[in-house]
Amino acid sequence: MKVGQVIGTVTSTINHPFFDGERLLICDLIDGSDSTGDYLICANRVDAGTGDTVLILDEGTSARQMYDTDTGPIRSVVVGIVDDVHEDRSL
């Protein structure tokens, strides 16, 4: 899993019905407090909003379980809002 920051949203009208009504999040992947320069478009299952630091899971089977379904074309999902990152970079 990765830590990211929600920096925006993507909207799509012509799409697979699975995404109807979904507000997908643009999550900037971060390392410590820095951006890695990479991002993922994630489904939002924990009501995260722009600016939130989030825990991102990028695996299809996991993502489908967040929707309580075995089917559905989905891979990347926000699984938690991060309260605190505690790290010791001196190691």
**To the nearest whole angstrom, how small is the minimum distance from the Cβ of residue 64 to a copy of itself?**
8
Amino acid at 39: Y
Rounded Cα distance between 38 and 35, Å, is 7
**To the nearest whole angstrom, how small is the minimum distance from the Cβ of residue 20 to a copy of itself?**
10
Nearest Cα to Cα of residue 30 among 54, 49, 59, 60: 54
Which positions touch a copy of itself (CB under 8 A)? 1-3, 5, 7-16, 18-19, 24, 26, 28, 31, 37-42, 45-47, 50-51, 55, 57-63, 65-66, 71-77, 79-89, 91
**To the nearest whole angstrom, how small is the minimum distance from the Cβ of residue 52 to a copy of itself?**
9
Rounded Cα distance between 39 and 37, Å, is 7
